[in-house]
Amino acid sequence: MAVATKPHVAVLPSPGMGHLIPLLEFAKRLATHHAVHVSFLVVTTESSPAQRRYLDSAALPSDLHVIKLPPADVSSVITPDMPILTKLSLLCRESVKPLGSIFEKISLPKALIIDNFMGDAFDICKNFNVPVYTFYTSATKSLALALYLRKLDKEVDCEFVDVAEGSIRVPGCKSIYVDDLQDSLKNRKAEAYKWNMLHASRLTMATGIFVNTWDDFESKSSWFHGLNNDPYFRNLPAPPLYRVGPLIKHDEAVAESDAFILSWLDNQECDSVLFVALGSGGTMTSEQLSELALGLEMSKQKFVFVVRKPSDIDVCGTYFNAGSNVDDPKTYLPEGFLDRTKGVGLVVPTWAPQVHVLGHKATGGFLSHCGWNSTLESMAYGVPIIAWPLFAEQRINATLLTEEVGVAVKPEGVLQGGRRVVRREEVERVVRLVMEGEEGKVMRNRMGELKESAAKALKHGGSSYDSLSCVVKSWK
């Protein structure tokens, strides 16, 4: 009997750790659990040091091969003052141009899997008759909004933020607060809004959409149910949705210089430490960073605090250069903070081995920006969240976790000088609530249930495993 040849697929993420990590984990799962040969295509133009280190240190299966796309000359199309979505979109457009020549050098894949910013690949793949799947890197709630966006654009005359009800009703689902919308949707005359519309419209061009979620988590909200059952979505020319998660980073390397973090945690009591980390791309203002630090001090709780130099200009100032600088926290944390919290807290510049910290028995809470990767990691390890969104769809995620799933608390801010600032007293309140209050215990129990169901979904015969197996079967 002839031995069946493994199907070959290609995976192409856009730049940024929030996109690279889940698509690489997806590629690894295809290779190790579903007997698929994977070509992992990497954008090298303006790649961050964190991205390069991650790829260099990742343990890759033998059936997964990394192929670096040629550097693209973006000097004539990208300027330093561009909004992040415009810059990212143009960078993807220029970087994907050699894709046809890449296909000619490798065996033609059965499919190309892209994320939601790599839509220019559709036209190239059409010439090669290669079906394109989208791996959606955010929550189902954001996907529902994206699939509804074209109709919403036609029906609403004013700016979305001026909608009378203060929220947008998505068919078959719950409403989305206009305050939670990503900034690129708040000005319909801006170029970033047009890019958002373009990316949303391309979702319906995919052969299928992979969503980094799982059945039991989706049962806690109405979003997947609405996408599958509401007449609006059922009448769209939309592709089938496949729940394949939660796919998170597991084999994270711990540098020798970071080993002290885990050693420090080893000496702390179970569930006694708050982990504070706000992602690879986000930055706080100087005032907000100071208030956060002083609130942590006032709470008198143990903490691991990952800090980076604040920015009063750009909330996503490190998106394209994550991991490039390690600044001295003494220069921007409140005077005397490091001395006063010595032994109680551990301050780590720029980066920490997040999955190892979240998975440590001493970690009992996570103050997070609510990026979808970090959210899934927190669920996979059963750690409740203090939701501190910074940009993109993070505010939507924060509301989902607090109001629908019940595993997070969101601190209240006050408007000052046109900016919303969370004061130190509020930081103290939510930290104590999660780390020692009854509400924190309830959230921790709910997270524990999600942790168990997440692991079950990915096992052989689990809902996410079977969902992906159906697609792989069609490739074979």
Catalytic residue list: 19, 115
End-to-end Cα distance, the chain: 16
246, two tokens: 């939660």
Cis (ω within 30 of 0) for the bond into 329? no
Integer Cα distance of 368 and 390 in angstroms: 10
**Sheet order of strands, 385-387 included:** 345-349, 302-307, 273-277, 363-368, 385-387, 408-409
The Cα-based distances of 61 to 33, 126, 219, 472 in angstroms read 11, 29, 33, 18
